[in-house]
C-alpha cells in the first residue's frame, strides 16, 4: 500500500515539472495564438543559465537566487524575441509564427553547445532538499515533495493574477476576443509582450528547477516540447487549471502504467490525447473556439488558375529541371530526386493546409506509411517495383481514411494535435513491432530495379511524379470539389447552408493529401533503399510544415518553392558546416522577417501591387488591403 502511495507522489512530482512549463505555453497560446515551438528552447536555456549561476553562487541563497535570476534572465531574452521578432509577424497568416519559433529553436540548440560545451552538465542538488523521507520503508525524495508543494502554489498565484488583477482581466478578455480588446483601446503590444514574458519565465523556471534531478544538455528542449503541447491540449487551450489536471493525469497514468506495461511511456501521452480529443474535442477544460471573425486564407488576392503564359513558364521550368542530368553529377541528381520527393510531400500538406484550412502536425504518418507499404510489398511479397510504387502508397490512403475520419471532426489546433497523436501512434507501432517492421533498425535493401537504379533515371522518375502530383492537386483546387473545400475552409456555416457536406469534403481532402504523401514516401523508400521509423516522426512532420509556411500558406503552390528552398539549403548546410542548425535557424528567422507571407506569398503580393498600381482599381484594392489589416 505504501508503495502505491509513494508511486502516486512520484507521479505528482513529475506532473509538477510538466505543469510549470505547460502553464506558460498555455498562457502564451491563449492570448497571442502563437504556437510557441521555442518554449522548449526557453526551458533549456533556463536550465543552462541556472546551472551557470548556481555553480558560481554559493549557499542556499545563491542556489535559490540563481534559479529565480535564471528564469528572469531568460524571460528578458523572451521579451527581446517578442519585441524584435514576433511583433513583426502577428499579422502574418495563422501558424506563421510557428516558423519563427522553429527557427529560434534550431539556433538555440547549436548555441548552447557553443556556449556551454558538448558535455552533459550535472547541476547541484538543492540545499535543504538533498535527501529523502522514509515513508513505511519507501523513500520519498524531499525535492519531490518540494515540487509537489510548489505547483499548487504556482497555480494559485496564476489564478489570483488572472482573476484579481486588472492585467489578468485584460488577458482573459484577450484570450476570448482579441479584436474586441483592441477595439476597447487596450494597448495590445504591451499586453502581448507581458504575457509572453510571463510564459517564458514559467518555462525557464521549470527548466531551472530540473537541475537538481536532471543533467543539463542540448536536447532538453525536444524532450519536453511535444509533451508539453500535449498536456496543454489535453487540458484545453488557455486553461491553466486544465493544464494542471492534464499534467497530473498524464504523469500518474505513466507512473502506474509502467508497472503493468513497462514499454508504455513511449506512447502514453499521445494515447491519452487521442482519447481525450475524440471524446472531448476541446480538451478537458477548454471551450469551443469562437467562430473566426475574419475569413482565413485569401481575401486580397483571389486564386486563379495559371494563365497560358504562366503555364508555358511552368513547363519551361520543368524542362530545365529535366535537363539536370545533362550537366550534373550523380550526387546532385540524387539530391534532386530527394528535393522532388519533398516537393510532392510538401505539396500534399499544402493542399490540406491552404485549400482545406486544416493544418496537420502529423503529416509524416502518411509519408511513412507509404514508405513502409512499399517496403512490405517489395521485401516481403517480392513484388516488382512498379507494382509496389503504385500499391504501397495505398497504405497511406488507408491510414489517412481512418485517422482523417476522426481528425476532421475537430478544427484548428485541436485538429493539428490529433493528427500529431495519430502520427505518433503509427510511429510507435513501427518502432515497437520489431518482428514486422524491424523496429528502429528499419527495413533494409529496398533498392530500385535496374531501370530506375541509375541516379538520372530515378531523378526523372521522381521529377515526373512530382510534376504530375502538383498538377493534379492544382486541378483539384480549381475543380468543383476544390471550391467546395475552400467554402468549408472560409465558412463552415455558410457552406453547409448551401448544401455542402463539410465533414465529408474535408475528409476526402484529408485522404487525397494522405495518399499523395504516401506516393512521396514510396519514392523515398526506393531512393534511400531502406525505411526507418524516422520517416513517420515528428521532425519530418515539422519539416513539411516549415516548407509549406516558407513557401506561403495563402498561395496555390507555394509549397513547391518552400520545399525546394528548405530542402536544398538543409542538405547543403549539413554538408558544409557542423553548425547547420544555427545557420538554418537564422535563415528561417530572416525569411520570416523579410517574407512575412512566405516566399511565394510575398512575391505574389508585390506582383499584384505592381499590377494594381497600373490599373484603375488600385485605390480600391489598397483600401481593401488596409481594411483587412486593421481588422486583424
Partner 1 sequence: MRRSYLLGAGLAIAVVGLANSAMAQSGEIKIGEINSYSLLPAFTEPYRKGWQLAVEEVNAAGGINGKKLVVISKDDGGKPADAQTAANELVSSENVAMLTGTFLSNIGLAVSDFANQKKVFFLAAEPLTDAITWSKGNRYTFRLRPSNYMQAAMLVEEAAKLPAKRWATIAPNYEYGQSAVAVFKKLMSEKRPDIVWVDEQWPPQGKIDAGPVVQAVAAANPEAILNVTFGADLVKLVREGNTRGLFKGRSVVSFLTGEPEYLDPLKDETPEGWIVTGYPWYDIKTPDHDKFLKAYQAKFNDYPRLGSIVGYQTIKAAAAILAKANSTDPEKLIAATEGLSMPSPFGEITFRKIDHQSTLGAYVGKTALKDGKGVMVNSVYRKGTDYLPGDAEVEKLRPKD
Q: Enumerate residues 445-474 that contact partner 1 by CB under 8 A.
A: 445, 447, 455-456
Among 581, 596, 598, 600, binds partner 1 (CB under 8 A): 581
Closest contact distance (angstroms) between CB of 527 and partner 1 is 8
Closest contact distance (angstroms) between CB of 551 and partner 1 is 22
- Under rule CB under 8 A, residue 342 binds partner 1: no
Please give, one letter per residue, the 3-state secondary structure of 118-130: CCCEECCCCCCCC
Contact 162, 30 (CB under 8 A): no
Which residue is listed with cell 465533414? Answer: 503
- Binding to partner 1 (CB under 8 A): which residues in 295-334? 323, 325-332, 334
> What DSSP string describes 69-113?
HHHHHHHHHHHHHHHHTGGGGTTSPTTHHHHHHHHHHHHHHHHHH
- Residue 122's DSSP bridge partners are 215
- Under rule CB under 8 A, residue 535 binds partner 1: yes
Torsion of CA 588, 590, 596, 599, to 10 degrees: -70
- Binding to partner 1 (CB under 8 A): which residues in 386-415? none
Closest contact distance (angstroms) between CB of 193 and partner 1 is 32
- Binding to partner 1 (CB under 8 A): which residues in 196-215? 212-215
Residues in contact with partner 1, total (CB under 8 A)? Answer: 81
Kindly state the DSSP code that residue 535 receives in the 8-state scheme: G
List of E strands, 390-447:
443-444
- Under rule CB under 8 A, residue 335 binds partner 1: yes
Cβ nearer to partner 1, comparing 159 with 256: 256
- Under rule CB under 8 A, residue 10 binds partner 1: yes
* Site track 127-146 with partner 1 (rule: CB under 8 A), x = hit: ---xxx-----xxxx-xx--
Q: What is the CA radius of gyration of the chain?
A: 25
Cβ nearer to partner 1, comparing 87 with 213: 213
- Residue 443's DSSP bridge partners are 531
- Binding to partner 1 (CB under 8 A): which residues in 13-72? 13-14
Contact 211, 217 (CB under 8 A): no
Cβ nearer to partner 1, comparing 402 with 436: 436
- Residue 141's DSSP bridge partners are 132
- Binding to partner 1 (CB under 8 A): which residues in 80-119? 109-110, 113, 118-119
Closest contact distance (angstroms) between CB of 142 and partner 1 is 8
Cβ nearer to partner 1, comparing 134 with 616: 134
Q: Which are the contacts of 4, defined by CB distance < 8 A and separation ≥ 6?
A: none
Cβ nearer to partner 1, comparing 80 with 115: 115
Among 175, 528, 541, 597, binds partner 1 (CB under 8 A): 528
* Rounded Cα distance, 408 and 487, in Å: 15
* Rounded Cα distance, 587 and 570, in Å: 10
Among 262, 302, 382, 480, binds partner 1 (CB under 8 A): 262
H/E element, 17: helix 2-32
Closest contact distance (angstroms) between CB of 14 and partner 1 is 5
Among 259, 316, 380, 386, binds partner 1 (CB under 8 A): 259
- Under rule CB under 8 A, residue 265 binds partner 1: yes
Cβ nearer to partner 1, comparing 11 with 404: 11
Cβ nearer to partner 1, comparing 122 with 275: 122
- Residue 140's DSSP bridge partners are 133
- Binding to partner 1 (CB under 8 A): which residues in 546-575? 571, 574-575
Q: How far is CA 33 from the centre of its chain?
A: 14
Which residue is listed with cell 514559467? Answer: 202
HSE-CB of 421 using CA atoms within 13 angstroms = 26
Directed axis angle between helix 538-551 and helix 364-375, to 10°? 120
Measured at the CA of 224, the angle between CA 114 and CA 257, to 5 degrees, comes to: 145
Directed axis angle between helix 412-432 and helix 268-279, to 10°? 140
Among 58, 84, 120, 436, binds partner 1 (CB under 8 A): 120
- Under rule CB under 8 A, residue 218 binds partner 1: yes
Which residue is listed with cell 510531400? Answer: 345
**Would the CA dihedral through 598, 102, 512, 276 be positive or negative?**
negative
- Under rule CB under 8 A, residue 521 binds partner 1: no
Cβ nearer to partner 1, comparing 179 with 534: 534
* Rounded Cα distance, 565 and 522, in Å: 22
Cβ nearer to partner 1, comparing 106 with 477: 106
Piece of the chain touching partner 1 by CB under 8 A; list 20-28, 183-191, 218-226, 293-301: 218-226
**Residue 276, all three cell numbers:** 481525450
> What DSSP string describes 148-207?
HHHHHHHHHHHHHHHHHSHHHHHHHHHHH-HHHHHHTT--HHHHHHHHHHHHHHHHHHHH
Closest contact distance (angstroms) between CB of 510 and partner 1 is 25
* Site track 222-241 with partner 1 (rule: CB under 8 A), x = hit: -x------------------
Cβ nearer to partner 1, comparing 103 with 455: 455
Closest contact distance (angstroms) between CB of 445 and partner 1 is 6
- Under rule CB under 8 A, residue 424 binds partner 1: no
Closest contact distance (angstroms) between CB of 352 and partner 1 is 23
Cβ nearer to partner 1, comparing 171 with 341: 341
Amino acid at each position: 500500500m505504501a508503495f502505491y502511495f509513494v508511486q502516486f507522489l512520484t507521479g505528482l512530482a513529475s506532473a509538477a515539472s510538466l505543469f510549470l512549463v505547460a502553464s506558460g505555453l498555455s498562457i502564451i497560446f491563449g492570448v497571442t495564438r502563437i504556437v510557441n515551438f521555442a518554449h522548449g528552447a526557453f526551458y533549456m536555456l533556463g536550465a543552462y543559465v541556472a546551472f551557470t549561476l548556481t555553480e558560481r553562487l554559493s549557499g542556499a541563497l545563491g542556489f535559490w537566487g540563481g534559479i529565480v535570476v535564471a528564469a528572469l534572465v531568460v524571460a528578458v531574452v523572451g521579451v527581446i524575441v517578442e519585441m524584435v521578432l514576433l511583433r513583426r509577424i502577428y499579422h502574418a497568416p495563422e501558424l506563421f509564427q510557428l516558423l519563427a519559433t522553429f527557427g529560434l529553436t534550431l539556433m538555440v540548440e547549436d548555441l548552447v553547445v557553443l556556449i556551454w560545451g558538448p558535455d552533459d552538465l550535472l547541476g547541484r542538488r538543492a540545499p535543504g532538499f538533498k535527501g529523502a523521507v522514509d515513508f513505511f520503508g519507501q523513500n520519498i525524495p524531499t525535492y519531490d515533495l518540494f515540487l509537489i508543494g510548489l505547483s499548487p502554489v504556482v497555480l494559485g498565484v496564476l489564478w489570483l493574477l488572472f482573476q484579481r488583477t486588472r492585467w489578468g482581466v485584460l488577458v482573459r478578455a484577450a484570450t476570448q476576443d482579441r479584436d474586441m480588446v483592441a477595439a476597447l483601446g487596450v494597448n495590445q503590444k504591451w499586453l502581448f509582450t507581458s504575457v509572453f514574458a510571463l510564459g517564458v519565465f514559467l518555462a525557464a523556471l521549470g527548466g531551472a528547477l530540473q537541475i537538481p534531478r536532471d543533467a543539463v544538455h542540448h536536447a532538453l528542449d525536444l524532450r519536453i516540447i511535444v509533451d508539453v503541447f500535449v498536456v496543454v491540449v489535453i487540458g484545453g487551450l488557455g486553461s491553466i487549471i486544465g493544464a494542471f489536471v492534464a499534467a497530473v493525469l498524464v504523469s500518474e497514468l505513466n507512473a502506474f502504467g509502467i508497472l503493468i506495461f513497462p514499454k508504455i511511456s513511449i506512447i502514453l501521452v499521445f494515447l491519452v490525447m487521442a482519447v481525450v480529443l475524440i471524446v472531448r474535442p476541446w480538451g478537458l477544460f477548454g471551450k469551443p473556439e469562437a467562430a473566426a471573425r475574419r475569413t482565413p486564407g485569401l481575401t486580397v488576392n483571389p486564386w486563379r488558375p495559371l494563365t497560358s503564359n504562366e503555364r508555358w513558364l511552368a513547363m519551361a521550368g520543368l524542362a530545365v529541371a529535366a535537363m539536370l542530368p545533362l550537366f550534373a553529377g550523380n550526387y546532385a541528381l540524387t539530391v534532386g530526386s530527394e528535393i522532388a520527393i519533398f516537393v510532392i510531400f510538401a505539396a500534399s500538406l499544402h493542399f490540406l493546409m491552404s485549400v482545406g484550412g486544416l493544418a496537420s502536425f502529423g503529416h509524416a504518418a502518411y509519408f511513412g506509411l507509404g514508405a513502409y507499404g512499399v517496403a512490405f510489398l517489395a521485401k516481403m511479397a517480392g513484388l516488382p517495383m512498379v507494382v509496389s510504387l503504385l500499391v504501397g502508397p495505398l497504405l497511406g490512403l488507408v491510414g489517412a481514411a481512418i485517422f482523417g475520419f476522426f481528425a476532421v471532426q475537430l478544427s484548428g489546433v485541436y485538429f493539428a494535435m490529433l493528427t500529431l497523436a495519430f502520427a505518433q501512434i503509427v510511429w510507435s507501432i513501427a518502432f515497437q513491432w520489431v518482428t514486422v517492421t524491424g523496429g528502429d533498425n528499419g527495413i533494409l535493401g529496398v533498392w530500385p530495379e535496374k531501370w530506375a537504379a541509375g541516379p538520372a533515371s530515378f531523378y526523372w522518375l521522381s521529377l515526373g511524379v512530382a510534376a504530375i502530383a502538383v498538377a493534379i492537386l492544382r486541378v483539384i483546387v480549381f475543380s468543383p470539389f476544390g471550391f467546395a473545400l475552400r467554402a468549408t475552409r472560409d465558412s463552415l456555416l455558410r457552406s453547409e447552408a448551401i448544401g455542402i457536406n463539410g465533414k465529408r469534403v474535408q475528409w476526402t481532402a484529408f485522404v487525397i493529401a494522405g495518399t499523395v504523401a504516401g506516393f512521396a514516401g514510396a519514392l523515398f523508400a526506393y531512393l534511400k533503399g531502406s525505411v526507418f521509423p524516422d520517416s513517420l516522426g515528428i521532425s519530418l512532420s515539422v519539416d513539411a510544415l516549415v516548407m509549406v509556411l516558407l513557401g506561403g500558406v495563402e498561395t496555390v503552390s507555394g509549397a513547391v518553392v518552400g520545399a525546394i528552398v528548405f530542402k536544398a539549403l538543409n542538405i547543403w548546410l549539413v554538408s558544409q558546416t557542423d553548425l547547420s542548425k544555427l545557420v538554418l535557424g537564422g535563415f528561417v528567422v530572416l525569411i520570416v522577417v523579410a517574407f512575412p507571407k512566405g516566399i511565394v506569398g510575398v512575391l505574389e503580393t508585390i506582383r499584384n501591387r505592381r499590377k494594381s498600381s497600373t490599373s484603375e482599381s488600385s485605390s480600391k484594392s489598397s483600401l481593401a488591403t488596409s481594411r483587412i489589416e486593421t481588422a486583424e
